[in-house]
């Protein structure tokens, strides 16, 4: 809240300055306010009229009055928001006076989102020097908990041991979800024997007990054993996926494999004998090169790729295809949250960092996430995250 107060105070101070100079801008915003309050008065009188009418006339008149009221209220709202926007442009002027450094590191998946926010923020605050880097979620947390970075991008929630390292170093942080990334389970587009895979079937083909299986149908026995359907086709199985260092690897295990692995008292890992790569393009090339291949990558990568088929996934509640709607609504079972972690103390000390995170919470959630092909949060989720940030300061 502090930041907004400051910005508001800045805006007020600025408008005083402008008023002292006798600029027309200010009088026009005054006019807007007057108009707005007049419109509110109109609306109120309409309500009073409606109430009076309701007492004497029929319900028809009541409805008419209600329409009038809502129209008048809408008008009032529009004019008020216009007046607010005038203040918004003064907020812009406030950002341009900011300077200093912001260091962001962490997940290479979240990196494009933060870069996009950096670009938009720098349009308004060109003197704030921001660096965004993407060595990986785990490496990012190491740097973050050493205090070398201000914001850590993460494609999974912070682990207990990572949080402990932060605590040991005396670093308090705020976790803010900025978007959602769906993981796509993919095969070659020529593969028409499979449309949908259940978690059980994926476990039977990719999980820790699947080592050595080279044919889809060989996994049927295990799939049935763990409670899935045994209808996998008789076809060669070639698996391509991200390597252990990747956040996509961790997320896939957590979402798909971990539950079943725990039930069966197995370690939650993939089989060791698949084709891992840190480069999503290499994974896609593998999938494209073999007719009955199986793999997983981030949804944004798979969605635009040619000759790749996105499989439906059954997480226990029926088969769901991956698309932006099903991912946003959490219907599609293989999706993961994208976070930023903000160093509280640094944000409180550095106005440019605080302004940047404020900006992230506004433009970032609304614009940047979708612009770099991830799935934006629902309005409720956005409100929740914004509230979390407000209460952190």
Partner 1 sequence: MIFTEPLVGDKTRESIRASITEPRADVAGRVFKALVVGSIVVTLLIVGILFFDQINGGWPQLSTRLGGFLQGTLRSRSEDELLGVHQALYGSLWIAIFVAVFAFPIGIAAAVYLEEYASTNRFTGFVELTIRNLAGVPSVVYGLLGLYLFVNDGWIKENITNGPTVISAGLTLAILVLPVVIITSQEALRSVPSGLKEGAYGVGATKWDVIRTQMLPYAAPGILTGTLLSMSRAIGEAAPLILIGAITGGLTANPGFTDVGALDDRFTAMPIIITTWVQQSGRDAGFAVAAAAAIVVLLCFVLLLNLAAILLRNRYENKRTV
Contact by Cβ (8 Å): 292, 235: yes
| Contact pattern from residue 304 through residue 343 relative to partner 1, giving x for each residue in contact according to CB under 8 A and a dash for the rest | xx--------------------------------------
- For residues 372 and 329, what is the distance between their CA atoms, to the nearest angstrom? 19
> How many amino acids of this chain bind partner 1 (CB under 8 A)?
33
Contact by Cβ (8 Å): 6, 352: no
Q: Which range, of 70-78, 127-135, 183-191, 238-246, touches partner 1 by CB under 8 A?
A: 127-135
Supply the minimum distance, in Å, between the C-beta of residue 29 and partner 1: 32
Contact by Cβ (8 Å): 297, 240: no
| 28 binds partner 1 per the rule CB under 8 A | no
Q: Which range, of 53-61, 78-86, 346-354, 364-372, touches partner 1 by CB under 8 A?
A: 364-372
Query: Closest CB to partner 1 among 94 and 111?
Result: 111
Buried b (16+ CB within 10 A) or exposed e, 207-241: bbbbeebeebebbbebbeebebeeebeebebbbbb
| 371 binds partner 1 per the rule CB under 8 A | yes
Helix ranges, the chain (H): 2-21, 24-56, 59-96, 111-124, 137-146, 160-168, 199-206, 220-225, 247-252, 258-263, 280-289, 299-303, 324-328, 344-349, 351-359, 369-371, 379-392
Binding to partner 1 (CB under 8 A) within 288-307 occurs at: 297-298, 300-301, 304-305
Q: C-alpha distances in angstroms, 169 versus 103, 147, 155? A: 18, 8, 23
Task: Indicate which single residue of 280, 314, 358, 363 sits in contact with partner 1 (rule: CB under 8 A).
Answer: 280
| 128 binds partner 1 per the rule CB under 8 A | yes
Supply the minimum distance, in Å, between the C-beta of residue 311 and partner 1: 18
Q: Which range, of 66-74, 108-116, 343-351, 357-365, touches partner 1 by CB under 8 A?
A: 108-116
| Positions in the binding site for partner 1 (CB under 8 A) | 104, 108, 111-116, 118-119, 122, 126, 128-134, 279-281, 284, 297-298, 300-301, 304-305, 368, 371-373
């Amino acid at each position: 809240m502090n930041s907004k107060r400051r910005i508001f105070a800045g805006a007020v101070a600025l408008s005083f300055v402008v008023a002292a100079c006798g600029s027309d801008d200010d009088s026009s915003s005054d006019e807007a306010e007057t108009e707005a309050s007049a419109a509110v008065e109109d609306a109120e009188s309409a309500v009073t009229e409606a109430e009076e009418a309701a007492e004497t006339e029929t319900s028809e008149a009541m409805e008419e009055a209600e329409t009038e009221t809502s129209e008048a209220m809408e008008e009032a709202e529009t004019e008020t928001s216009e007046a607010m926007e005038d203040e918004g442009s003064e907020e812009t002027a406030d950002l341009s006076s900011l300077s200093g450094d912001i260091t962001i590191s962490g997940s290479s998946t979240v990196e494009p989102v933060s870069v996009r926010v950096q670009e938009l923020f720098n349009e308004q605050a060109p003197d704030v020097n921001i660096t965004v880097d993407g060595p990986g979620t785990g490496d990012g947390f190491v740097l973050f908990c050493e205090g070398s970075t201000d914001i850590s991008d993460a494609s999974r929630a912070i682990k207990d041991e990572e949080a402990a390292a932060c605590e040991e170093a005396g670093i308090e942080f705020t976790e803010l979800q900025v978007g959602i990334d769906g993981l796509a389970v993919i095969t070659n587009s020529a593969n028409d024997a499979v449309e949908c895979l259940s978690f059980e079937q994926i476990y039977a083909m990719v999980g820790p007990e699947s080592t050595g299986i080279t044919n889809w149908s060989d996994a049927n026995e295990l799939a049935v054993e763990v409670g899935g359907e045994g209808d996998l086709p008789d076809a060669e199985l070639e698996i391509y996926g991200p390597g252990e260092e990747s956040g996509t690897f961790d997320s896939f295990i957590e979402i798909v494999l971990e539950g079943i692995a725990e039930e069966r008292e197995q370690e939650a890992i993939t089989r060791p004998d698949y084709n891992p790569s840190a480069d999503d393009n290499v994974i896609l090339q593998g999938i494209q090169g073999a007719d009955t291949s199986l793999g997983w990558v981030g949804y944004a990568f798979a969605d635009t790729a040619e000759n790749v088929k996105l499989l439906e996934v059954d997480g226990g509640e029926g088969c769901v295809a991956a698309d932006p709607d099903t991912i946003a609504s959490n219907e599609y079972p293989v999706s993961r949250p994208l976070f930023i972690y903000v160093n509280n103390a640094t944000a409180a000390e550095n106005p440019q960092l605080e302004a940047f995170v404020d900006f992230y919470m506004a433009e970032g959630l609304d614009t940047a996430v979708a612009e770099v092909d991830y799935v934006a949060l629902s309005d409720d989720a956005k409100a929740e995250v914004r509230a979390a940030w407000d209460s952190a300061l």
